[in-house]
Each structure stands twice: as C-alpha cells, then as structure tokens.
A and B are shown apart, each in its own frame.
Chain A
Amino acid sequence: MMHGMGGMGFGGMGGAWGRRDNVNIDDEQGKLFDCEVVWRLLGYMAPYRRQVALAVLGVLVYTATTVAVPLLVQRGIDGYIAQGDLEGLNLLALAFAVVLAAQYAVNYGHQAVLGRVTQSVLFDLRRDLFAHLQRLPMSFHNRHKVGSVMSRVQNDVSTLQEFLNIMVVSLGDLISLAGIIVAMIVLDLRMSTAVVALLPLLVLVIAVWQRFARKAFLNVRTAIARVNGSLQENIAGVRVVQSMNRQDANLSKFNELNSANLNANLRAMSLSAVLMPAVELFTAAALAGAVVIGGSLVFGGTIEAGVLVAFALYIQRFFDPIRNLTMQFTQLQRAMTSGARIFELLDVEPDLRDAPDAKPLPPIRGEVRFEHVSFGYTKDKPVLEDVNLTVHPGQTVALVGPTGAGKTTLVALLARFHDVTGGRILIDGHDLREVPRASLARQMGTVLQEPFLFTGTIRENIRYSRADATRGRIEEAARAVGVHDYIMSLPDGYDTVLEERGGNLSVGQRQLISFARALVADPRILVLDEATASVDTETEQTIQRALKTLLAGRTAVVIAHRLSTVQHADQIAVIEQGRVAEVGTHRELLERGGLYAKHHALSRGAATPEAAG
C-alpha cells in the first residue's frame, strides 16, 4: 500500500563529519539493518519503556482479537448454523460484539500510546541534536553548510519518524502472522502445512526481487537529493540569479536533475509494482490449495465447511504482513541511513570541550595576554605564529594589517571559537582552556562586521540572551547607540517583528541594533570587528560616541579598518602574515617609520577623510 519513495533530503551535502569521511548522499551503501543504529534508537526509547511495554501488550491483545474473528465465523457456521442452533448463534453474535468493542479500545489505545512515544523520542532526538550543535565549535560550523546540517536535524529525524511507525506496524504484522499460523494449525494441520509451505517460496521470490530493487531505490534517493540541493541554492542565491538574468540557464539545469529524478522513480516503480501481483498470486495459489485439499476433506467429512471459510479468511490476510514488510524495506533502508547520519553528527566530538576540572571564570578585570600563540585551521597552513600581545584592563588595542593577515583569527581565538594550537591565551591569568566556555562568553561581547539578527521583535533582539534585561535597560542601550528614535518611529516600536535576519531593516540599522545588543550584555571585554564601513557618516558619528561610552572601563580588541579608530587606541598591533609585526601607539609607530607608517601614508593617499583631517 505504501510507495512513498521520494527521498526528502536536501542535497549537496557531504564533507567529513569527524570519524567517518566521505559521508556523501551520492554513495550511501543502503544498509537494510544497522545494528548500531537500531540499538541506539532503542536507547532513546528506554525512558518510555513502560509505555512501550503497554503498547506491545496492546498489540498482542489486538492481534488476538483480529485472529479470533475468523474463528468465531467458523464456530458460527459449524457449531450453530449447520446445527440450526439459533440460541447459540445469538450468543455468538454477542461474543462477536464484545470482541469488536475490545478490539476498538485496544487498537486505538495502543496506537495512541505509541504515537506519544514516537513523538517524544523524536523530540528528544531533536533536542539532543540541537544541544549538540550548540556545543560544536565554530570550526565545525564554518566547514559545514547550514543546509546540510539542517537536513540532518529536519529530514533525517522525519525519516526516523517513518521508521518508528514502520517498526510499530511491522511488529503488529509479525505478531499477526504468528497468530494466524497458530490459528490455522489449531483449525487443521494438513491445510495449514500446505499454506505455510508457500511462505519460504515467497521469501525467496522477494529476496531475488530485492537484488534488483535496491539499486533502483538508491538511485531515486540520490536523484531527489540533487534536485533539492539545486533548489535550495537557487532560493538562497535568488538575488544574484535575478540580477544576472540566470533564470533560463538555471531552469534548464534544474530540469535535467528533475527529469533524472522522474526517470529514476519510474524505473523504481516498474520494479516495485511487480511485488503486489506476485504476493497476490501466492494468495491465490494458497486459496486454490485450500479449495482442492479442503474441499476433499470437507467432502470426506474430516473437516466442516466453516473451517474452509475460516481458512479462506486467514489466507487473504496471511501474506499481507510479508508484503507490507517488503514494501517498507525502502523506508527501512532510508531510515538506517538517516539514523546513521544523525548519530554520526551526534558523535562529532566538540573539540572545544571544557576541561573536566574547569572552574567558572570569576568576575574579571579584563587583562588579556597572548603568549606565543600559534594557530592553523589545517595543520600544514599556520594562520598565526608566535603571537605575543598584552592588553591591560580597560585598554583598547587596535589590530591593523592587510586582509588575510590573521586579525579575525586572533579575535576568534580570544572568543574561543577555536583553541590555540600552540602557546596560550590568558584572561586575568586564567588560561582560556581551563575555564568553561560559557563563563567566558558571559563576560565577553562581540560585534561582528556583518550584523546578524534573529526573527523576533526588536526588543528580543536587543535583549537576546539576557532574558532578565528590563525594558529600561534595553531602551537605555538603544539610546546610547542612537537607534532609539528610529525604533520609536516604527508603528510597533520595540515590538516590531523583524523578518528573516532583520531583512526589513537597512544594514546600518541592523548594525546599530547589534551594538545595542552588545551593550545590554555588558561585557568586560569587547571584541569589535569594526563594521563602521557599512554605516553612513552621521550614524558613524553616533556610533563612535556610543562606542566611547561602551569602551569606557572595558578592555577592547578592535579589528580596525579606519585610522580614526586606530588613532584613539591605547595600543596598535600591526599584524602581517600571522605575526605581530609592530606594537605601539599611533605616534610611536609613525615615528618608527615601519609598516604602520607606510600603511598610514597609503591611506592618506587614498584620501580617507579621517586621514586627511
């Protein structure tokens, strides 16, 4: 009955997820049964074992009632109708009603319980995945596409939902198969032997069929993954697509993938549609056997007519469980892969684990010290080498240097997005790796070059993780960065709902709100990837003023693109090729006549207004 074979995975995923390399949608092995996956899934069911036990009991009772019905029919025919016993028939009808009432209650009950368990397990899985993603380091998130991670949390979990449903249905099917066999044997051994003998034959046929079908179904999944991958990219990049007039070229490329998907599906269907007639042929053969053998037995008076009817009823349901199980093999295969992918993600070790003996960072003064710090995203390519830098509490240090010199990496290390590969970073004398990351993050604020806001109200965005921030505190912060008046001019004020990533605000406004957010967080150390470039002059002035307030009494590390920022810094560190080339104040560095002086002259040449001023 089920032919849901279109995979729903977003495509284009790949890349290594830690332990195993090359987990790629294109070369899934399509295991039918992965013990490890099933075992771990069962682990997720463990908290609900009482409900599961109850449900299994329900399945058993339910199966008993369904198996009992043909027996009742047989009793009715042979025991009462054939004997003309109407009283007995009335009693039987009553028994029938009782069995049905019980069947309804048990059927509904066990399915409802299992539904609750299934949804709870999925919730637990999603919760764990999400929590795990929060723990994974920035390097993981930089490496892996949002879409492919999303696909694991979303689609793979949904696939597992199907899997859990299948487990439930299959369990019922198997139990019902066993029940039918028992009932048939009770009724008549000879006839049941004939019917059951067909079973291995059917299994053989299905085994042969699978050899062909498996490949076809794998192709289907690969094809749909490619379709979805292409689709997702097009949505994400739609602005580029439109401005470059790429619609027609893109559509024809998409059409190719889409056609391939269509053909893969048709091919798979041409195989899967064989199964149903095949199973029915077996049913017919069994019925034919029952007619010949049973007919003779009835004729010979060995069995009664009701037995034959009951057999006919059983046979019609006998092969169903086998067929259902086979039809679900696609889903099963998919679920195994999905399960493997989910657990693989859960198994990625957060390489930034808090040390077991990590003690929370006490309230800090804000002294930052880089000692012989080295770092590389890959082993062979160091980004930073032997960086030494000390920032005293309350000081502002400006990092300057060409693109790719390592400025961003340096602040990323300070925020502990990554761990150093050599040397150490100390805050108030505490090695970053020896304090829990959360206690560090609480005392450190970061303002990114590209402001990122969340869907929700402006108030929620400014408050962000400080759930206890009062209205007054929020508005105060907004005032300090000069965005309060703008917010108040909106119809809903602070309750204005922002679209995806604050898309309904301009970059400058988003920037200001992100500043306010940092202000509310009230960090001791502020990391600022100077973003003033996307803000116009007037706003920039507002921000510069606000920053002065913000920086007062705080340690600040600023990736500077403007000489104005640089000039006011207590210290300037010139970074070049992963090293600190020069350190000093603006005046000192100018006098030294090194890189900074050259840089400065160049900027002046480019007529940056501040430089000219």
Chain B
Amino acid sequence: MRYPWLLAAAWLSLILATLLQIAVPRLLGTAIDDVLARADTSRLWWLAGAIVLVTALRGVFSYGNQYLAEAVSQRVAYDIRNAFYDKLQRLSFAFHDREHTGNLMSKATVDVEQLRFFINMGMVRSGQMLLLVAGVSVVLLWLDWRLALAALAFVPLVAYRAIAVSRRLRGIWAAVQADTGRMTTVLQENLAGMRVVKAFGADDHEQAKFEAQAAKVMDSSYTAARTQAQNGALMQVFFWAATGLLLWLGGRAVVDGRITLGELAQFILYTSLLVQPIRMMGFLVNTFARAHAAGQRLFEVLDAESPVRDAPEAAPLSNVRGEVAFEQVSFAYRAPGAKASENAHGPSGDAANGAAIGAAGFRPALRDASLRVAPGQRVALLGAPGSGKTTMVNLLARFYDVTSGRVTIDGIDVRDATVASVRRSVGIVQQDVYLFSASVRENIAYGREDAALDDVIAAAKTAQLHDEIMALPQGYDTVVGERGMTLSGGQRQRLSIARTILLDPPILVLDDSTSSVDAATEARIRQAMENVMRGRTTFVIAHRLSSVQGADTVAVLERGRIAEVGAARDLLARGGIYKHIAELQGAPTAAPGPSRAGGAG
C-alpha cells in the first residue's frame, strides 16, 4: 500500500466511530430498563443527551473515516491513471497494433473507477462492517450467550453466500465487460469508417451488427442484475430471520424470567445495527467482483513489458553522423489473434528462423536483410506492399526490435542505445498522419515544444505549407481536429513533413510522403525535400520509380528479402527485378534521371 499513514488514520477513525455506534443501543436499552424494570424516569434526559452527544462525536470520526477513505482511493486512482498513461505511450507499436483505442479507453475510465470504488468501499468500509459485526457479537455474547448464538447464526451463512456469489459475479462481470468492449469496437469502427458505410449503403448491415452486440450486452447485464437482486434479497431475509428468531427465543427467555424485556429490546436493537453491514455486504460482493475483473484488465496493460526498452547499460547516441547498417536482420510481426500479452513475446525467442512464425501466423516481414548506408547517402527502398520496406524503418527507429541480426547507427547497435536517442536521430514522415487537437503551430512543434514561431514558420515554408496555413481562419493558431478533418490529406502530410523538419534529425525517413498530393504540389514538395535531405542520411520508402530518382542506392525488397541493391543505373543494367519494375512503369530504360553529384561520398 502506498499511503500507509492515510490508511492508518482512516482505520483509526473507523474504529472509534464504530465503538461509539455500538454504545447507542446500550443507552436505549438502559432507558427502557429504567422505565420498565426500575420505574425510574429521572435519567431519561441524561440518556437522551448522551445519545445525541455520542452520535455527534461519532460523526466527527465517521467524517474523518469517509474523507480519508476517499483520499486513499483517489490517490490510488491518480497513481494508476498516471501509470496507465505512461505505460501506454511507452509500449511498443506491437502492443498498439493489437489493442483497440476504445478498449483501452474503457480500461482507463470504467475499470479505474471500479478499482477506485473498491478501494474505498472494500479496503476501508469493509473494515467497518467486520468491526461492527465483531463489536455487536461481543456485546450480545456478554448480554446472553445463548440468545447471542441464535441472533448471530446467520453471520456465517451470509459470509458463505457472499463468497459464493462473489465468485459467480466475477465471471458475469467479466462477460459484461467483454461484451461491452465488442459493442464499443463496432461503434467506433462504424463512426470512423462512416464514409465506407455510407458509400455502400450498409446502414442495415451495420445496424444488425451493432444490435447483435448490444443484445449481448443487454443479456449479460441482466444476468448480473438478476444475480445481484437475488443475493441482496436473500441477505436481507437472513437478517430479518435473525430478528424473528430473537423475538421467538428471547420472548421465551423473558417469559421464563431469564432476561428482562429491556434486555430483549437491547438485543433487537443491537441486531438492527447489523442491517447496514449486511446490506453493504451484498453491495461489496458486487464491487469486489467488478473490481477483480477490472483489475485484471488494467494489470494486463500495466504489467505488459515493452520488448523495446533501454538496456541496463544503454548510452544515448550523440553526434550522429548517420551511418546506418542492417546486418542480417530478421523480423516477424506477431500473428493476429495471438495471445494479447506483450510479455508473452511474439517476434523473439523461437523466431530465429522466421519460418517458425510463418507457421503460426503471418509470414516473417523481414528475412536476413543486410544493407549498409554511408552518412548523407540517400537510399530508396522499393518493393511490393508487405515486402518489408516499412518494417525496415520501424526497426531502425526501434518501434520494434529485431528478431535476429542487428541494426546499427554509427556502428552502435540500436539496442545498446537509449530508445529516446535513437528516435531523436531518426525523423519519420509517417504514412498515417495523426494530428492532435491543438493549433497548427503546436502540431508542427509537437516534437519540440520550445520551438520559436519563426522556426515553425520556416519549417512550414520548407514543407510548402506556409501559404495554406496563412489562409486558415486563425493562421498558425487554427485548431485542427482529432483526425485532421479540417485539413486535406495533402496538407496533413506536409504538416507531418514540417514536424520532422523542425526536429532536424540526422537520419530521415520519408514513407510515401508524396502520395496524396497532385502533381503540381508534388513537384513543389519534391524541391523542398531536396533541400531538407541534403546532408542527412535518408530512406525513401518508394512506391514509384519517380521516388527513386536522386537516390544513391536502391534496395529492392521482395517478400521480406533484399533482392537487389545498387545504384539505379547498375540495377537497370543487371536486368533483374528493378529493370522489370522499371519496364512495367514504362520508365525510360536510359539513365533514371539526374543523380545527385557527389552524393555517394
């Protein structure tokens, strides 16, 4: 427990409050005995005053207890949220490939809240329950042990039920959460893919899909509600049955003259103190069951170890010249539907021979790839979708770690360098551009918060975006939406380019960066990028021969292997795959455009 003092204080005030609570029926019973047995009303006012006073005092402690319990639970929730947030942003891409955003959000909201609630109710308030039951039991046994045993007979029954039901509810709540998660996924995809839905007129199809999931949620939620209702009703009946038993047996005792009527009254009133803990028991059982399911879901994430992390003696990369080497690199993504725990390790271990993974799921993304790039050189990676181009740069920036072989920057294995320094050295213009709900300026300066406006503008100018930003209603202060709805694809892409320019990385990766712009804009970007690429080691993930132009080296990938490497001119002459592609694209079989002078160094 991380807050021992708070918790101790909460417990202390709880004990005091409970003791004072137990005093009240004693005072009431005394009053009844005074009137009935001793025919004495002189102390009635005193007893009445004592009841109020004791309760007031108890109020102080129960206030303290409630507040402190909440404080503990809120702090724990605070810690969990921070930990969750940080964990998520540090888990590797492999994790995020698998986990739906909606699912993670539901963990962060609903599950954290369940857990918090349980800490409040379970860890602290349940103490009150136990204490009250114990205190009342002691007093009752002291008053008359035979009657006490009768009155308390239901306690073990309640406890047994509670455990049994808790176990059942755990399963039920897990089902509710799983069903809700699936319903959320349908909804989220429907909204995100609304264009497709509309374009195909698939409203009915989607509606049926959603209703099927919603019906499952309805059914499992109902099962949970019914189980709770049954349990709650039973608990209450147990309690009142005890009162009835007390009345029956106690009445006989009074008639026999073993106890007084006042004592019987005390017995009944004491037992009535237990109504609250019993009611809470039913509630607590449910809370516990939900928290258990929630906790499991949360810790699944919190305990996930990112396979990409700093080695114990990792040093930051500094003064990177930009020499990059892939040495017999192999890599496989996890098979879809594989166990969703990141520490269960997909790509590593048994995967030295990628074929093993191919049998279990998707074929390895990269096999035995070797490539050497001198500082400042420009490399074009060319190949079919899925041939391993993106994988190569993902490995370079350590979004994943290699399965075997190694990737080095300036001769240093990237796994021996700190993750942060590797990513600082590698700037990536990503295929899927994510814009945050913030101003254009903040989005451009995303990797460098302290960047001056002038620098941001300069980057935007280089990315050929400045004029278009100025045309926006609030210029650089215009807020762009969650999925960049207000910017066109081309604009988003150039914003992403500007982002990377501002970071000024020694190694640059352009992934398909000119795909969604028309020819005129493309020409402008191309010119701008020429400037940016100067002096940096650059990987261009090329889908077209035109992107290959100006590259010092072309690496042609095929099914995860580097099939051909060399200058475009040489590859053409060799007459292999590259030449084939070139012919397909109808490129001139002569020299492929002007090669940059002196680039090869």
Contacts and interface: CB of A to CB of B under 8 A. Distances in A.
B201 A237 contact: no
Contacts of A489: 363
B55 A283 contact: yes
A501 B251 contact: no
A452 B108 CA distance: 26
A229 to B, nearest CB: 8
B526 A606 contact: yes
A305 B543 contact: no
A277 B96 CA distance: 48
A301 to B, nearest CB: 11
A370 interface: no
A504 B489 CA distance: 22
Interface stretch (B133-141, B348-356, B515-523): B515-523
Interface in B38-65: 39, 41, 44-45, 47-49, 51-52, 54-56, 58-60, 62-63
A508 B386 contact: yes
Contacts of B252: 86, 89
Given A232-B101, A244-B447, A454-B193, A607 B93 contact: no
B533 interface: no
Given A243-B399, A299-B35, A402-B521, A291 B543 contact: no
B596 to A, nearest CB: 14
Contacts of A277: 56, 58-60, 62-63
B474 interface: no
A32 interface: no
Contacts, number: 536
Contacts of A6: 77, 113, 116
B89 to A, nearest CB: 5
B32 A309 contact: yes
A246 B521 contact: no
Contacts of B113: 4, 6, 8
B545 A536 contact: no
Contact of A313 (B268, B585, B587): B268
A44 interface: no
B201 A438 contact: yes
Interface in A1-40: 1, 3-4, 6, 8, 10, 12
Interface string B379-415: 0001111110010000001010000000000000000
B481 A269 contact: no
A238 B214 contact: no
A96 B544 CA distance: 87
Contacts of B585: 537, 609-610, 613
Contacts of B424: 245
B144 to A, nearest CB: 15
Contact of A289 (B48, B77, B229, B586): B48
Interface in A553-610: 561, 563, 599, 602-603, 605-610
Interface residues of A, number: 186
Contacts of A242: 89-90, 93, 399, 423
Given A154-B184, A491-B361, A251 B85 contact: yes
Interface stretch (A124-132, A335-343, A387-395): A124-132
Contact of B518 (A133, A272, A402): A402
A508 B433 CA distance: 17
A190 interface: no
B518 A561 contact: yes
B598 interface: no
Given A115-B222, A490-B362, A504-B97, A89 B248 contact: yes
Contacts of B55: 280-281, 283-284
Given A100-B241, A150-B191, A507 B385 contact: yes
Interface stretch (A69-77, A178-186, A422-430): A69-77
Interface stretch (B67-75, B167-175, B321-329): B67-75
Contacts of B337: 497
Interface in A134-151: 134-135, 138, 141-143, 145-147, 149-150
A103 B24 contact: no
A297 to B, nearest CB: 9
A269 B70 contact: yes
Contacts of A289: 48
A103 B48 contact: no
A521 B84 CA distance: 43
Nearest to B120: A3
A138 B587 contact: no
Interface stretch (A197-205, A210-218, A260-268, A470-478): A260-268
B237 A104 contact: yes
Contacts of A292: 44-45, 48
Interface string A505-525: 111110100100100010000
Interface residues of B, number: 194
Interface string A492-508: 00001111110111111
A454 B195 contact: no
B199 A504 contact: no
Contact of B587 (A122, A276, A612): A612
**Most B Cβ at <10 Å: residue of A111, A154, A501:** A154
B62 A313 contact: no
Interface stretch (B156-164, B205-213, B370-378, B566-574): B205-213
Interface in B516-549: 516-523, 526, 543-546, 549
Nearest to A563: B519
A486 B71 CA distance: 56
Contacts of B468: 404
B105 interface: yes
B432 interface: yes
B586 A118 contact: no
B516 A533 contact: yes
A284 B56 contact: yes
Contacts of B512: 507, 533-534
B545 A506 contact: no
A285 to B, nearest CB: 6
A534 B59 contact: no
A277 B481 CA distance: 48
A421 interface: no
A223 to B, nearest CB: 11
B232 interface: yes
A258 interface: yes
A293 to B, nearest CB: 9
Interface in A50-101: 69, 72-73, 76-77, 80-82, 84, 86, 89-90, 92-93, 96-97, 100-101
A208 interface: no
A265 B32 contact: no
B491 interface: yes
B247 A93 contact: yes
A490 B481 CA distance: 37
Contacts of B543: 533-537
Nearest to A142: B485
B265 interface: yes
B362 A119 contact: no
Contacts of B109: 8, 10, 155, 228
**9 A-B pairs with least C-beta separation:** A508-B385, A441-B201, A277-B59, A613-B586, A115-B225, A111-B229, A244-B447, A284-B55, A465-B202
17 contacts: A73-B247, A86-B252, A126-B214, A131-B207, A134-B203, A150-B188, A158-B110, A255-B82, A262-B78, A281-B52, A402-B520, A441-B201, A504-B362, A506-B390, A509-B386, A536-B383, A536-B384
Given A112-B225, A538-B584, A608-B519, 8 more contacts: A3-B70, A238-B89, A246-B447, A281-B56, A287-B51, A312-B269, A491-B360, A534-B515
